[in-house]
Amino acid sequence: MMTYSTGAPLATFANQQRLPRLPVPALEDTVARYLKSVRPLVSASEYAQTERAASTFVKSTELGPVLQSRLLKVDAEAPHSWLEDIWLKKAYLEWRDPSYINVNWFALFADNPDFPLVTDAARGRPTSVQIGRAARLITHMLETNEALNREQIPADMQRDVPLCMNQYKWQFGTTRIPRPGCDVVVNQYPSTARHILVMYRNQTVEVPVYNNDGQRANIGQITSQLVLATERIDKLLLAGQQPSVANLTAGHRDDWTEARAMLEQDAANRESLAKVDSSLFGVCLDVDVDPQDTTEVERTIAVFNHSDAGANRWFDKSIQLVIMNSGRMGVNCEHTPVDGMTAGRLLMEVGEKERGPVKDITPCPNLVEPTPIQWNVSPDVAHIISKVRRDAGALAGNLRILLGQNEGYGAQWIKTLGVSPDAYFQVALQAAYYRHYGHPTATYESSSLRKFLHGRTETIRSCTEESLAFGKAFADKDMPLKKKLAYFQQAIATQVELSRAAAAGKGVDRHLLGLRVQIQTPEEAEKAWLFQDKSYVKSMSFGLSTSNVSPGERFRGGFAPVIADGYGINYALDKNDLKFSVSEWLSSPVTDASAFRQTLYKTLEDLYEAGEYAKNHQ
């Protein structure tokens, strides 16, 4: 949770020079932490083999110290962080499977009483509620970008510790570009583009929101611009169906790379792509969702996530606002340049500002009208678009996302037990998984490294020997409650310790990734005993991929599982309730999001009763 220190807020980047660099942990320390994280996941014989592999790996005559030496050299030469480029490439840009579900994240925002939902919206038609809410959101987004350009967004602090603000430079005017083998990200800071990208009926529109002198349009003008944009696309489509080039952003990255290379051979297409790439952010006006879907929240969040077959989105934009013709609103964000909590902070503030009147400004003169972005699409590109649409539809159809909400208690009650709310939920999740499956699973919890210069994230490996012991104890009907609670406290203490270590740059996964990418030959790969061991892969097969987005008062978010037989768990610990989402791949014979959600509900209920009993019998 970010807070501000007392006194006048500091300028956005005022603390950057104070931030320490991310350390390279000692090899032996990371391997010791790794071994501890593996122990609950493997058998005794497997663990003995893993210990031998790890012990050999760190010997002075073996490869481990060589890789560590190379990584230290990378650190010495890196301008900001040894991890920055490694993480960007390995976690994101080299990923070739479709990023629109596997990388992008989504959120459904709370409804705005100023824009009552339209329950009878006509399919294929915009509504005044949709346009009005979009115009207000756009206005506040533009205000935010201007404040960021002027460095007037207060520097984030965690208690009295400054946090890196570099990611804020990548919020606006940012787009991921497909390239062979490794994509690139383009952006501009300060972000001074004068237009946004509007998606409507699967078509792209350049919508100016500043005049040529840089004066911003007022909300009335933005409203008019959106109406004009929809009218011009409607007129364009009357002349015949236009290919949806945007759909390519939902495809396999190699398919999109091939299609973009073909598009770029045409000068007009290069100009069109430049308009998309440089736009400040995307705004998707959805009108092709069945009206009854607006009352089905889980169906609605699926639309914000993948829009069926990836329609009406340019998924490579860093931020897209999605407004349905019912008035429902959400976002879809490309994860590569910015972590979810960083983008979420700005979006939450925009959501807060949305509740209330907009400060009116003088209309700007000579505002250029919206222009549909035209494409010259060859038969080969059209063929790839059709393929992408089929593939994207199949991928979207395989994903299920369910929402959960425990309204019995929240962070406030958890704190009365004297424990961390985040640790509480993570330990409860471990207990629920063990209760459901009878065994543990490798677990990923995202932890911020923004205490360090250009820091991104580290993994908290939340499946521990202590959480497994508690899961077994909690499932044992014959064990006295007092003993179960003792196991619970031990599991909580370990989770808190791991969380603190990860935030301090003393995790496992990022250091091991840094070492692994230093391997230079196949012969070295064969001698990297730690990475050759089967337990290494098992420990990284995260059956639970989790992220805390507390407090989550204004939005509900989610993401896809990271393995075929896993769950994606996004959660928010509000004052009086616990909100979460559970995602799964329907093709998995192992997962059942609905059944697992019920087990998690039951576990949270039982934990509450145990906690109340403990408080009343101290």
What is the set of active-site residues? Answer: 335
Q: Which residue has the tokens 């013709």?
A: 325
CB of 198 within 8 A of CB of 279? no
Rounded Cα gap, residues 205 and 368, in angstroms: 13
Element (H, E) at 226: helix 219-238
Rounded Cα gap, residues 256 and 277, in angstroms: 15
Rounded Cα gap, residues 597 and 577, in angstroms: 16
CB of 438 within 8 A of CB of 11? no
- Which of 192, 189, 196 lies closest to 138, judged by CA? 196
Rounded Cα gap, residues 211 and 581, in angstroms: 42
Q: Give the tokens for residue 383.
A: 């063929």
HSE value, Cβ hemisphere, 13 Å, CA-based, for 188 = 13
Rounded Cα gap, residues 216 and 363, in angstroms: 8
DSSP assignment string, 373-413: PP----HHHHHHHHHHHHHHHHHHHHEEEEEEEE-S--HHH
CB of 144 within 8 A of CB of 168? no
- The gap between the terminal CA atoms of the chain, to the nearest Å, is 31
